[in-house]
Structure 1
């Protein structure tokens, strides 16, 4: 999940916005008022939600410098302003660097292996660049670093030199020339450390963990445990991949590099499970995915979702608007859905963001609370010609993920706006509902409900469904290690790294990479220059949150397994319990309390490791 940022140019309102937020958070009268509430005789009579609001606002005020002396507070504010500008520039540089890369291909031999869906997108891109007669069959084709094209080239292009060129361009985005993010990263880290020390912390990670449920030690401990569980499987993955490529007569089999991994992994997956991701696309059309998602949420949470186009203005013709109703048929929330990639104006990835939150204070009629509105933004493969958006498993998983975030925002029952939905929830717990929803993507009934051919309505054969489920753990150790690289380098940069010291930021990344990648990172790898999560979003010293939340979400999903996934009544009861705790309570209670209320015990990593095939087998 990420916040939407400014795509083009400098937003001249940002300094004013930041100044206002700082004045609000550093307001002595407001701070003293909250302290007075906490110290009043009526404190114990307040609801849990109101107590949480007071405690959170007091902590926020301290973390934003309310207690600093005038000169130090002035410096703190200067740092905040500069960090905001740097984050915005960081994101703009990535977008501009992505736009700057395009490779025109006219020889059909060079794009051998690329699926028709990718060729159609590449041809449409060519048309937009002035090649008016471009077609998917005959080209020319314009290859970009936009997500759907980049991933497809790495997975399917037989042309190894094309894969290498695109991969190198991708991992060095925004790392040279006027778009170089390296000095921006150095400055961000320098300012964050100064900010943390102003507030009495030894490093930025220590500051960041003030707003987490975990501690630095617990986060590192989790990373170590998951690393130990995934390293040997990842080494086995690599050996299996080399053996397979060798068996296919590949010249590069003994020297596989990063631009070969996805290509040969896809060939191995096709061979091992008899699955071709591109051949599956026709069974996963966006309209069918959305219908099935809405039916699942009806089954689990007793809500109805209906189109509400025309009720609210939209920013693009492809954006839809929906209303959410409960069993009483009364609207309880609304959401926008912006599904398709738009390379020239929309940053990559997928996210849910808040338009407005549920709040009794901000109600317009003083009788009912203001209803929440969410926006869900993805970068799915767009429709081409007369075909709807045809999706990969990963793409429909992304929709389920972001919809999980939206459900927590929309199904909250908290009327205190500051802790409704996902507001007031510690950052390492906000991914629980999103990752929980991903688990439903790998259930037989969910897949069979979705997977119908967009042309003739044919249902995906049962055996292919079962093979999709079996393939879930394919290269799971390697995939987890990739995430642990990001989490590890994030914590290292924000806890131990010193700008101007003997190690560069890339030395740190290379060091972490040696422990998370069976193939060493390229010496010129500059992934950090596009690591928006920690340099332009809220995941600084918090990227581990994905793994932390994965453990909790898997444990939560296992409660549904225990209830019986084929028992509709049990699912309904468990869904009600999940809705009334994880989704309804928002930030009104600490996430640890909420999880305990739902699960009845502390979380364990067993379900997460089991779902990923990483639990060690015990000999009989």
Structure 2
């Protein structure tokens, strides 16, 4: 390998995070795009319409770009800084222009079409066929057929949308960061658990109160989830809960970080994109590459779930009001009284369980489960890869024969000053086979797993809530699909080329195991005494599993219907604002109408700064698949280790292994032997009486 002075131009292997600086970004991307532009022009003029003559060299161009730009995108999510943003925003327009040129290349499009109808087609594996068909579809959705002014306008919009998406995300991060509630008296912290007092004293120290302690304060509450969520649940001060709640729902809703104008602009531009491409709305563009075939079929599934969950949520709210003895419950009171009701009903608090879920023990249980059902062995490999923060871990994944098949990074803790909220999996390196110096090389997959859970505080390890445990299992499920793939073509390995509404299947499937007895007792051990979680807690967790599940499902359906409405029927130049659309949708999808000043949409990064535009329904769509998949294990009996392992291998060899080489429905049918149905999801949610 030749020595490269700019670490972002190495183009292969693990990213050298220790060496990468913000000022490497602009020269690296400018040089890379110049080189790739020349390569693309050469390819357009000289390719042969065959797999080896077109797909392989094009893949080389795409891989080099993905390697460098992927690192920068990753750092924007986990190590955001003003310098990084400036560099990112400087090169983003050039990157979008190159991406447009690549995806709108008529020569390459015609080449792919020729391959599709060539004699070579019959000899292809299914993965190769899917890659070709996908390339043709992508080109069409990227405006390959456009000419003249239409093409210019389309490309201008793509550029604007990329910039707006980045700005939206930064505004949410900045407005989240801008709010702090500093508490100094015992009255102000009444009801707060020890874990939150420790976290907020630690936050206070990082903000300059060097002598802050969990016992004496001061304590700083932020809008970051590990701080915000428990504060609303446990604070006995209704006035302070209201203050924090109102701050949260108004994030990025006004002032210098206002996302309102961006929302209107994004929706207007996406609608225009759809019209330019010949579709009547953006939802149709989005669904052109998903399992669901139309807005109507998505809404039919959502409505099936809504009817059941709406009446359940109404009943849940009625019972909550009766419990709290309050007729007009305010939104900042719901978490508080729900926690009190849950404690009364099931006789335990979420906080009591934290000591049993230290991160290391949870990982041990998770890795034990992966070995039991998928036959893989996961071991720490810290020190074998450069990391972007000292808390980041690195792990190795091996198969039954102890052959290394993958690696992953784990960035578990919340860092509100530089890391965006939420949790996600991203690919660092994808599995692929290619020729190098006359040899066939297999590149093994490497995943990024990112969470935002409670960090270690003082001398205590990261003690997780059960919800944080479920989030870790969820992201690990995405990671498994990326890491256990057996497909050697990068265009269809792992999560590549998997329809978006099926991509949540493995992640949501893994969440089901958190309450499976062997898995739970394998990981729930007290961090100080080593004592296993007492059995009565397991029974309580099981009993409380579906507490407020109607409300939880309805909440997801509310977001899904809203997203679809904004991207299909909403007219940006019509009489309604996006917030009024939300209020209208809320009439049938919420049992507590949002406050008039609720600016939820301004923080809805999934659809305005992520890939979920007209695709948020995917969580529910895939949850139907994942619940049905988990029921295959229930049917053979969760206590029967041999049968579990057998079904686990089948899941591994289909859902986790086949990536985008077949349609998700085909993969699901290979695993389950039939099409999916909604019954297991309703049963698991306690919304269907068996």
Question: How high is the TM-score relative to the length of structure 1?
Answer: 0.97
2:639 is aligned with 1:566: yes
**Which one of the candidate residues 625, 638, 653 is aligned to 1:580?**
653
Q: Distance in 2 between matches of 1:19 and 1:419?
A: 25
Q: Distance in 2 between matches of 1:588 and 1:362?
A: 21
Which residue of structure 2 lines up, in the alignment, with residue 604 of structure 1?
A: 677
Which residue of structure 1 lines up, in the alignment, with residue 180 of structure 2?
A: 102
**Which one of the candidate residues 115, 118, 129 is aligned to 2:207?**
129
Is contact 1:172-1:527 (8 Å) kept? yes
Equivalent position SS for 1:367: strand
2:310 is aligned with 1:237: no
Q: Distance in 2 between matches of 1:445 and 1:242?
A: 37
Is contact 1:514-1:521 (8 Å) kept? no
Q: Deviations over 1:544-587 (max 9, x none)?
A: 00000000000000001112211111111101100110000000
Q: Distance in 1 between matches of 2:186 and 2:135?
A: 60
**Which one of the candidate residues 546, 553, 572 is aligned to 1:473?**
546
Q: Distance in 1 between matches of 2:434 and 2:140?
A: 25
Is contact 2:513-2:519 (8 Å) kept? yes
Which residue of structure 2 lines up, in the alignment, with residue 201 of structure 1?
A: 279
Q: Distance in 2 between matches of 1:444 and 1:327?
A: 24
Is contact 2:683-2:689 (8 Å) kept? no
Q: Deviations over 1:314-346 (max 9, x none)?
A: 000000111111112111111100000001001
Which residue of structure 2 lines up, in the alignment, with residue 69 of structure 1?
A: 147
**Which one of the candidate residues 305, 310, 321 is aligned to 1:226?**
305
Q: Distance in 1 between matches of 2:140 and 2:434?
A: 25
Quote the offset at 1:42 in angstroms. Answer: 2.4
Q: Distance in 1 between matches of 2:599 and 2:374?
A: 44
Q: Distance in 2 between matches of 1:365 and 1:37?
A: 25
Is contact 1:372-1:410 (8 Å) kept? yes
2:579 is aligned with 1:500: no
Quote the offset at 1:517 in angstroms. Answer: 1.8
Which residue of structure 1 lines up, in the alignment, with residue 119 of structure 2?
A: 41
Q: Distance in 1 between matches of 2:216 and 2:289?
A: 54
2:345 is aligned with 1:267: no
Is the alpha carbon distance of 1:76 and 1:364 closer, same or farther for their aligned partners in structure 2, counting shifts above 3 Å?
farther
Q: Distance in 1 between matches of 2:404 and 2:530?
A: 32
**Which one of the candidate residues 391, 411, 416 is aligned to 1:318?**
391
Q: Distance in 2 between matches of 1:323 and 1:70?
A: 51
Unpaired runs of at least 5, structure 1: 247-252
Equivalent position SS for 2:427: strand
Quote the offset at 1:500 in angstroms. Answer: 2.6
Is the alpha carbon distance of 1:407 and 1:241 closer, same or farther for their aligned partners in structure 2, counting shifts above 3 Å?
same
Q: Distance in 1 between matches of 2:105 and 2:557?
A: 39
Is contact 2:434-2:440 (8 Å) kept? no
**Which one of the candidate residues 497, 505, 523 is aligned to 1:424?**
497
**Which one of the candidate residues 401, 410, 432 is aligned to 1:328?**
401
Which residue of structure 2 lines up, in the alignment, with residue 541 of structure 1?
A: 614
Q: Distance in 2 between matches of 1:614 and 1:344?
A: 40
Q: Distance in 1 between matches of 2:227 and 2:140?
A: 45
2:523 is aligned with 1:450: yes
Q: Distance in 2 between matches of 1:307 and 1:464?
A: 30
Question: How high is the TM-score relative to the length of structure 2?
Answer: 0.87
Which residue of structure 2 lines up, in the alignment, with residue 551 of structure 1?
A: 624
Q: Distance in 1 between matches of 2:175 and 2:406?
A: 38
Q: Distance in 1 between matches of 2:482 and 2:470?
A: 19
Unpaired runs of at least 5, structure 2: 1-72
- Matched residue count: 609
Quote the offset at 1:512 in angstroms. Answer: 1.3
Is contact 2:579-2:599 (8 Å) kept? yes
Is the alpha carbon distance of 1:397 and 1:608 closer, same or farther for their aligned partners in structure 2, counting shifts above 3 Å?
same
**Which one of the candidate residues 264, 269, 272 is aligned to 1:191?**
269
Equivalent position SS for 2:415: coil
Q: Deviations over 1:591-612 (max 9, x none)?
A: 0110011100010011000000
Which residue of structure 2 lines up, in the alignment, with residue 60 of structure 1?
A: 138
Q: Distance in 2 between matches of 1:476 and 1:65?
A: 43
Q: Distance in 1 between matches of 2:265 and 2:134?
A: 29
Q: Distance in 1 between matches of 2:366 and 2:296?
A: 38
Is contact 2:184-2:218 (8 Å) kept? yes
2:94 is aligned with 1:28: no
Is contact 1:363-1:370 (8 Å) kept? no
Is contact 1:155-1:266 (8 Å) kept? yes
Equivalent position SS for 1:419: coil
2:382 is aligned with 1:309: yes
Q: Distance in 2 between matches of 1:21 and 1:334?
A: 29
Which residue of structure 2 lines up, in the alignment, with residue 249 of structure 1?
A: none
Quote the offset at 1:365 in angstroms. Answer: 7.6
Q: Distance in 2 between matches of 1:448 and 1:333?
A: 27
Equivalent position SS for 1:417: coil
Q: Deviations over 1:256-309 (max 9, x none)?
A: 111111111111111111121001100111000001100100011111111111
Q: Distance in 2 between matches of 1:489 and 1:362?
A: 47
Q: Distance in 2 between matches of 1:439 and 1:447?
A: 11
Which residue of structure 2 lines up, in the alignment, with residue 250 of structure 1?
A: none
Is contact 1:86-1:188 (8 Å) kept? yes
**Which one of the candidate residues 150, 158, 180 is aligned to 2:258?**
180
Give RMSD over aligned pairs.
1.2
Quote the offset at 1:107 in angstroms. Answer: 1.1
Which residue of structure 1 lines up, in the alignment, with residue 328 of structure 2?
A: 255
Equivalent position SS for 2:451: strand
Which residue of structure 1 lines up, in the alignment, with residue 350 of structure 2?
A: 277
